[in-house]
Every structure is written in structure tokens, then in C-alpha cells.
A and B are shown apart, each in its own frame.
Chain A
């Protein structure tokens, strides 16, 4: 039986549907959009539906679609945030952040007092002291909070943690050890920094807790809550989660089956994550798991990772490569994570099975390998609507975008990098000219490649308004504009975080615009992004989201 429909009257409905770009109201029934227009038009067409004025002062847009994120964004909120910038939590509360060591110690003291079990580890994350001046966080700063409870401060980069003496004593390395990345002070004792994942693994219990969170349904709930808070109605897990067995799939479908689950989840299968079998067997598995999809969880796409990161100097670059070290010594090229032969074997199997492949390619040499591989796959097997997508695609050149367009590919551009690392890219990794055309949305437009823009949460915070703000303004953390000619319009950026993101997830027939027949997934904003100063787009308040016509509540 059909439910009675409802008409949501808004200050404005921005549809992103070219036929009816703006409207007064949107009519919804059974989770689907009946139509857009005036209230009178909707009642004339669909009968005397109830009019809901909850959003009468808000602007309704299609719910944002984050096409490159990770559920770690939800896992990590098992603990408190201690970063520099204020940040919204999945409960909708804004954390003020820690702008000094004292603020960190105050936060830790408060959290320490809240824990009953004296052996339970106290973990905070996101710590970012680069704006504090020279001093480094050390165990002695944390020891004032507790000399008995293990304390672990995870830095924003996720490549560094600082731990207290109690933790080092528990693991037996307080007096120093020969593990790389464990600096010692003048007294020969470890100062409490654990640099890079091998050294971080010395905090065994805390790292195990972090991994454990990834397999906890509560983390997926927090991930979806975080999405709700920032206005995303569809979020992705780009291949960091294993989708091999029934249990792996059930983790997603069961978590999302709760009443009012506040987002749709799109987890991608990564053949390098615990998949056994030949490429064809894995491709068949990728197709078969589509049948496990639910209204809130969509399986069926694939993700692979070819290279590392630019800020970590592990992305694969074409000449002239990375800038040298400050002392003039050459930096080696980055790393491959899959052999070209293995990549090609997997890619071709997925392509033959008509499975869309998203490939992590940060460096331009990795893009070349991807383009060669897609070219070869298409030469062997024709599939016009493949939507294979280059993910991150940060250093992609105009020539590469031209090839991408000819091959029918999509891009998902890591625009948030401009704000978070743009200054470092200009000064340290690739220099001013290549930094100016990093994350080149305008070039992708000129060369005819359809693209989305993304946060890679939790590498940077989830938030499509912030991500589109980056693409529109290209402002770095220091306030400079990096590559002004690569800025794009508000309209273009808004499409990138809605309909074009949906397109590369093969969901553009269901979500991404507000038009009759699509799912009633909306975000209600306090202001219209088209009307405000582009520099304040990121600050527009998210009033609510609706998923399948239901207002998602905290």
C-alpha cells in the first residue's frame, strides 16, 4: 500500500535538473520523488497532499554524494578529536580543537576523569601541532595527565603517534629500542614519539583497538551520522574494507538495516584485500555480491590502488619527479602497490565482467599506467558505458585528461588537498608550477572529462561543502590562491558533489538530482550556495538531510 505523500515546501528547491532547475516545493511518496514545482502544481497533479513546512526557510538540494571516503571516518570517532581546526562530530557538536599543548592536556585530563578502568587506554586523534611553533609533543607532556594510564595521541597525518611513559613501560621500550622511528633523548630514553606505522605498531593494544573499530557496526553508524551532519546522503568506502566473505557483507547490510539509518553506503571491493582466487573468480564475486545490496547498501564496484601519496613522497611521478631534499640530494620516485601485470590481469577480468573499476592514481606516472591498461582492456573487449574512474588524479596533465576523455573515463579529483597540503606541495613536493595545476578541475572540464571532487575522509574531514569550496576557491591553509585558473564555478562544483559523483558510482539514475522518479535524498541548507560569497560556501549550515524521504535525526 502506498503511503500518503507529502509536499516539502522550501525557500527554494535547487534540483540540478536542467529542465526544472529551481522550484518552490518537492513532492515525495514512498521514498521517491513525485515531482517538483509550486505547491499548487504538485497538489493539482498528485492530489491534496499534506504540505510540510519544516524546510520553509531552508534551501533543499540533492543530498551530497561523497564518492571517495573511508569508514575509518566513523571508526576514529570512537575517541575524541584533538586536532587544530574546530570540527563537527557525528553527534553534530562542534569540537573546539586543540590550539596548544595546554589545550591538549586539558582535554586529556577531562577524558581521563571520565574513564573508570584505570588500565583502559586513553586515545585521542587528529592532533596537529604544525601551527604551535617548534616544540614537539613528547611523553613528558602526557605524563602530567597520568603516570599509570596508557595515553596515545594520534597525529593528523596518521603517520605519527605520541605516547606516554606508562604505555612505553607496558610495552618495554621506555629505555629505548632499535626499532626505526623511535627517537631517544639525551638520556637514551625514548621521548615518546613513534614515527611511521612500523614504530606505531609498538603501541600494540591501541593499534589493535583501532583495527577492531573498523570491524564494529557502531563505526559504520558513526560514519553515517557524520555523513548526516555534513549533508551527505550517500558515502563510499573506497576499498579499505574487506568484502570477501558473507560476514564481511553482513557487517554493512546489518548495520545499515537499522530504522532511520542516516545514509546510503557504497563499499567498493578491493581485490588486494583478502580476496583469494583467480582474477575471473574475483570478478564473478564482485558481480555476485550485487545481489546482497539493500536500499541503504550498494555493492558492485571495485577499487584498486596503484601508488602512494604525494605528501608522503610515495606517489609515482613522471620526470622531473619530486623536488630534491632541502640539502640538495635527490628524492627517489614513489612506490607501486601492484605489479603492472597483476593490475592488468585484475582490471581486464573486471572490465570483461562489466564491473566499474576505480583506481587510486595520485602521481602522473600512475595515471599513465592506468590509461595504458584501460586502453588495452577496451581494445580487447568493447564496453562503452564502463565509467572506469581515476581516483585522486592529482598531478594529471591536460594530455592525460584528453586521453581519459577519449577512453570514456571519469575522474574523482582530490580538491581538499589544495587547502590541506597546497602550501607544502608548492614549497616541498613538486614546486609552484606543478602545484598550481594540481587537482585541475578546470582542465578536466576543458578536456571533456566528467568528474567528482572528494575528501578521502578521514584523510581530510568529510564535508562536501568544504570540498566544493576548495574546487571553487583553491585557497590554501595559509590563505593563498593556488592556481587560480583551475578554479571552477559554484554550479560546476555542486554538480561534482552530486550528480557527477553519482554517475561514477553508477547511481545517477537514482540519486544526484531532484527530479521525479529518483530517491528522495535531500540536504537542507541555511543558504543557497549560488547566492553566497563563494568564500563562505564551506560555512553554510547544514539544517538536516533526508534519505528516502525520511528526515534523519541524531
Chain B
């Protein structure tokens, strides 16, 4: 079985031309923090990385000394994903940059195929241009569809927007209740974009519980990570706790033993994407009755 049945978290990054997707990708690749990330981009030449980090470059694939790999999206998604599946070892996660007119909702099924599990849909929006783009002939509705599909919105360039991005925020709020993160120069905590590194292992080890609040790199000006104690809960109670999380929650993760069901329950939240699902494949001893929650500071 591929990668012993492991399914790699797969994040989609959408947004129109000029929204800052490439800048975000460059930041992630340069700040991977030990993660082996496969980054799928439209144009490998756009990946701007310190030459010293490049281990190998064959035109369509860029291998980095930090373990990350950047691949051009080949002729179609099927072949591109098959290239990843042919890797002998599973990467830690996959980040796919969509084209400027890519509609994440239509691409999302690919992120949930053999070897992958859709982690979340992140859409970048240019604070200075978004309102105008939404009115533009031919593509205005496409940009609306992108925002509608977003679990998280990364609002870029609000530092140069004359109104600080307030018109763009109104546009986003007209179609989406997803948390909006201000991102300047692509600087985004990789835990926020791609999820907590090794989340299940770390969350599941009781002796590291004390370390949890620091995961996700709390930045009081931007986002706050905290621990929510769950105690004894039923599956339904756990679901309603997750559903009632504030709209400011950008990520939450937990592996919980419920009082009324046998398998461990995994909580996975990326903005508006909130799932609670059984993980019968995991050892119950790994459960921790607490949930890591990252909240955006608006």
C-alpha cells in the first residue's frame, strides 16, 4: 500500500494573478522548519530561493537542501500527483499553488485521492486590487468563486492599500465568513498555513502537553495559540464544541478519547473547514483530552 496507508496533508493555495501566492510560496519554502514540503507551482522559475539551498534543478523540479521539493504542475493534475506518489517516502505535506483562474472547489477532490488528504483551502487576495478585480469583465465571478471556497483568506498588501484593505475586506465578507489573515511580504507562520507540524504525535504525548501553547508560534499582533481542555466528552459533545468555535479560529487540532465511542476522534479545523472523524487506525493511548486552537487577532 502506498506509504503504508499514510495520507499526506494537502493544502490548496488559490487567488488571482498578483494576489501574492508566489511570495507566500517563497516564504514557506525558505522557512519550512524541517518539514519536507512538496510545493506544486505553475512556474518553477518563479520560486526565488537562495542558490545555496538548491540541491538539484532539472527545469521542472527543484530539490532543496532543506528537504523541500518544488515541482511544476505537469500536463495535468493526475500526472502531477502520480509523480509525488512515486516518491519512496511520503513528504510531510503538499502545498499546491493554483493558477490565477483555478477554482479551488473544483480542484479540491484531487487533494483527497490516494496518498493525500485535503487539509484546507487557502485563498490569497490583494487588498489593493480585490474590489476592482471582482468587477472585472470575464474573471470577476471566478474571483468570487475562489473566495467562496476559501477556508482561510490571506489578505496581502494591505500595507500599500490606500484604505488599508477595508474595501477588500467588505468584498470578502460578502461571500465568505472565513478568517482573514493579514499577510505582508508573504510572511506567514508555516504552522498556520500548513498545520501544526507532526500534530498527532505532539498532541498525543502527554508529557509534552506543557509545550503545546507555544506551538503555532503565537504572535500577539497576529494570532494566538492556546489550549482548550476537553475533559470527558461524548462524540456529539465534541462535535458541538468544534462547531461552536469562534469564526476567528484559523486552526484547531486534537486527538480525543470520547466516552461513547471506541476509536479515537480527530478534530481538524482550518478556518471554516471543521471535521471530527474517527481514527480507528491510531492507538488510544495517544489521546489527550485537550485541543490546540490558533485564533487570528483581527
A interface residues, Cβ below 8 angstroms from B: 171-172, 178-181, 196-202, 204, 207-208, 211, 242, 273-274, 276-277, 316, 332-333, 335-342, 365, 368-369
Contacts and interface: CB of A to CB of B under 8 A. Distances in A.
A208 B82 contact: yes
Contact of B78 (A201, A242, A335): A201
A270 to B, nearest CB: 9
A211 B110 CA distance: 17
Nearest to B108: A180
Given A178-B112, A336-B139, A336-B142, A276 B43 contact: yes
A367 to B, nearest CB: 12
Contacts of B17: 339, 341-342
Contact of A172 (B1, B77, B101): B1
A522 B232 CA distance: 82
A201 B114 CA distance: 8
Contacts of A179: 109, 112-114
B112 A180 contact: yes
B109 A181 contact: yes
A242 B75 contact: yes
A276 B113 contact: no
Interface in B129-155: 138-139, 141-142, 145
Contacts of B75: 242, 273-274
A272 to B, nearest CB: 8
B227 interface: no
B72 to A, nearest CB: 8
Closest 7 CB pairs of A and B: A198-B109, A336-B101, A180-B109, A339-B100, A198-B110, A201-B78, A201-B113
B82 A335 contact: no
B82 A342 contact: no
Given A180-B112, A332-B141, A339-B17, 7 more contacts: A178-B112, A197-B76, A201-B78, A274-B74, A336-B139, A338-B101, A339-B16
B106 interface: yes
A342 B142 CA distance: 15
A211 B17 CA distance: 31
Interface string B103-138: 100101110111000000000000000000000001
B99 interface: yes
Contact of A339 (B99, B103, B112): B99
Nearest to A180: B109
A67 B103 CA distance: 31
A172 B81 CA distance: 18
Interface string B62-80: 0000000000101111110
A199 B113 CA distance: 7
Given A201-B78, A201-B81, A332 B145 contact: yes
Given A171-B114, A180-B109, A342-B17, A276 B44 contact: yes
A536 B138 CA distance: 43
Given A198-B109, A199-B109, A211-B79, A274 B5 contact: no
B45 interface: yes
A197 B114 CA distance: 12
A206 to B, nearest CB: 12
A199 B79 CA distance: 14
Contacts of B81: 201
Contacts of B78: 197, 200-201, 207, 211
A276 B44 CA distance: 9
B60 interface: yes
A498 to B, nearest CB: 32
A518 B210 CA distance: 84
B273 interface: no
Nearest to B277: A178
A413 B77 CA distance: 28
B42 to A, nearest CB: 9
Contacts of A337: 99, 101
B101 A198 contact: no
A203 to B, nearest CB: 10
Contacts of A201: 78, 81-82, 110, 113-114
A365 B142 CA distance: 13
B17, B78, B103 — most chain A CB neighbours (10 Å): B78
A64 B82 CA distance: 38
Nearest to B106: A335
B139 A172 contact: no
A199 B74 CA distance: 19
Contact of B139 (A196, A198, A332, A339): A339
B169 interface: no
B226 interface: no
Contacts of A338: 99, 101
A341 B138 CA distance: 11
A335 B103 contact: yes
A369 B138 contact: yes
A197 B77 contact: yes
B127 to A, nearest CB: 19
B274 interface: no
B45 A276 contact: yes
Given A197-B77, A201-B114, A274-B75, A339 B45 contact: no
25 contacts: A172-B5, A179-B112, A179-B114, A180-B108, A198-B109, A198-B110, A199-B109, A199-B113, A202-B114, A204-B114, A207-B78, A207-B82, A242-B75, A276-B72, A277-B45, A316-B138, A335-B103, A336-B142, A338-B99, A339-B16, A339-B99, A340-B139, A341-B100, A342-B17, A368-B138
B35 interface: no
A274 B79 CA distance: 12
B138 A274 contact: no
B114 A365 contact: no
A342 B17 CA distance: 9
A365 B82 contact: no
A201 B43 CA distance: 24
A196 B109 contact: yes
B88 interface: no
Contacts of B74: 274
Contacts of B110: 197-198, 201
A275 to B, nearest CB: 10
B59 interface: yes
